Amino acid sequence: MTASHGLSSINCTSCGAGLSVLGGGRVLSHVCGYCGAVLDTQDNYKVLDSIGKRDHPASPVKIGQTLTLEGVEFTVIGTLGIIEKYGSSTWRWVEHQIFSPTHGYMWLNVEDGNLTFTRKIRDYNMQHWLSPSTVERAETPPRRAYDGKTYKYYDTSMTQIDFMEGEFNWVPKLGERKEVVSLLGPDTMLSLVKSRTEREVELTRLLPRAETADDLGFSESALGPASPHPLTPYRPLPDEPVIRRALFLTAAAALILGLVFLFMPGRTILETSNLDLGQLPESYTFDVTNTAQIARLDFRTNFSNQWAVLAAEILGPDGQPVIAGERSVSYYSGRSGGESWSEGSRNAGFRFRPRDTGEHRVRLELADNGSGGSSGSVRLRIQQGKPTGFWLFVLAGIAGLGWIIVAGRKAMHTSRRFAGSDWTDED
């Protein structure tokens, strides 16, 4: 007897147990779930091997269940228990072969509470194959392109079969090993798989747990808790692109306007001639007509390789102090190694807000003559009605922080996706 589309069941030629025939005419082997016999479907179900009685891996997915993927109905026809070992650690998951009469053979995988769907692709450029040795030699995570998407290296694993049951379109062997190099893309994982006899390329995507479990006929809770999966999709905020753009434009506009206001001059209401430092202290009067905006007092010097501390006190029309302050002015320059250099500034100043209009008096003093003695000169300038960009800078900061938070959500999601990668950057 050979496999036939007309068969719905057969009896195991080893133990006589009834076995369902679900996988179509390209099935090459059938592993009895009762005695572990590996049967050749193309040669009257002759016994090829036996894996004996083995514990069934934990999976709520059972042979014979059906589900719909991408609009196509598939039937679960086989189960493989897969293990990966590295050092003292062991990872286990289950891969179920599924079959559609129109779309052939695919895989439904159960791992750490997640369900994924894997299909083989035939149009990948095999000249861009990636081997573990190539990964080892790479200085940055290797990338590969497929179907207009870029995939970044994720991990390398060596898997082996630890359990078999049901129908398969090849003859699996217990302990059969595969070398898998996986690369992570925007919403799918590209796997370059090398077995003892061939190389294949697979594409895997994450399935929605609740919907898929319901389609298969069991509750989502049967899968147990789900571990974070690198294919977990990013969930943007409602209208996130619009919000991100609006925040960026707001921050940029507020910053530009703030800078414009910062450097916009006010109306000069006092400007003295150059005064030698030895002439200080000196007093001057000036009239204030604008109390709605800030004013600014500036010290402008001709210092060269010297510093000094200049002080100013402003008295209002009532003779009461409006503000008093000191500023250190320091400027040094020279040549070194054939190049000119300078540091510091010849100018300094501070802002203040007048309380009243009318005649004010300012007293200019030399608080510390520093390293230059009484040499050098200073000119005093006071402007009123000077715009301030303070609240624009505050707005730019708030909008900029909002943009960072919104844009950072996706960056953090990407970082979490690659948290399980085995790539390490060498120092």
Q: Are 280 and 379 in contact (CB under 8 A)?
A: no
Read off the pLDDT of each residue in 66-85 and give the average, rounded to a whole number.
Answer: 95
Specify the pLDDT at position 2: 38
Specify the pLDDT at position 189: 97
Which amino acid is residue 100, in one-letter code?
Answer: S
Band of residue 260 on the pLDDT scale cut at 50, 70, 90: confident
Read off the pLDDT of each residue in 254-278 and give the average, rounded to a whole number.
Answer: 88
Share of the chain above pLDDT 90, in %: 78
Centre a 10 Å sphere on the Cβ of residue 419 and count the other Cβ atoms it contains.
8
Question: Which residues, 6+ apart, have CB-to-CB distance to 116 below 8 Å?
Answer: 108, 109, 204, 205, 206, 207, 229, 231
The yes-or-no verdict on residue 184 having pLDDT over 50 is yes
Question: pLDDT, tens digit, for every residue of 43-62?
Answer: 999 999 999 988 899 999 99
In whole angstroms, give the CA distance from residue 85 to residue 260: 63
Specify the pLDDT at position 5: 47
Question: pLDDT, tens digit, for every residue of 97-108?
Answer: 999 999 999 999
Band of residue 4 on the pLDDT scale cut at 50, 70, 90: very low
Strand order in the sheet with 339-345: 282-288, 358-368, 306-315, 321-336, 339-345
Question: pLDDT, tens digit, for every residue of 14-38?
Answer: 999 999 999 988 999 999 999 999 9
Band of residue 373 on the pLDDT scale cut at 50, 70, 90: low
Specify the pLDDT at position 272: 94
Following CA atoms 134, 137, 143, 146 in sequence, which dihedral angle do they give, to the nearest 10 degrees? -10
Specify the pLDDT at position 126: 93
More reliable by pLDDT, 189 or 388: 189
In whole angstroms, give the CA distance from residue 304 to residue 6: 102
In 337-422 the beta strands, taken as DSSP E runs, fall at: 339-345, 347-352, 358-368, 377-386
Closest CA to 40 of 50, 29, 51, 25: 29
Exposed, middle or buried by CB within 10 Å (0-12, 13-18, 19+), for 380?
buried
Specify the pLDDT at position 262: 76
Specify the pLDDT at position 263: 78
The yes-or-no verdict on residue 266 having pLDDT over 90 is no
Residue 66, classed as helix, strand or coil, is strand
Report yes or no on whether pTM surpasses 0.85: no
Q: How far is CA 268 from the centre of its chain?
A: 51
Question: pLDDT, tens digit, for every residue of 105-131?
Answer: 999 999 999 999 999 999 999 999 999
Question: pLDDT, tens digit, for every residue of 192-251?
Answer: 999 988 999 999 999 999 999 999 999 999 999 999 999 998 888 899 899 999 999 999
Band of residue 426 on the pLDDT scale cut at 50, 70, 90: low
DSSP 130-195: --HHHHHH-SS--EEEETTEEEEEEEEEEEEEEEEEEEESS---TT-EEEEEEEE-SS-EEEEEE-
Question: pLDDT, tens digit, for every residue of 311-355?
Answer: 999 999 999 999 999 999 999 999 887 889 999 999 999 989 899
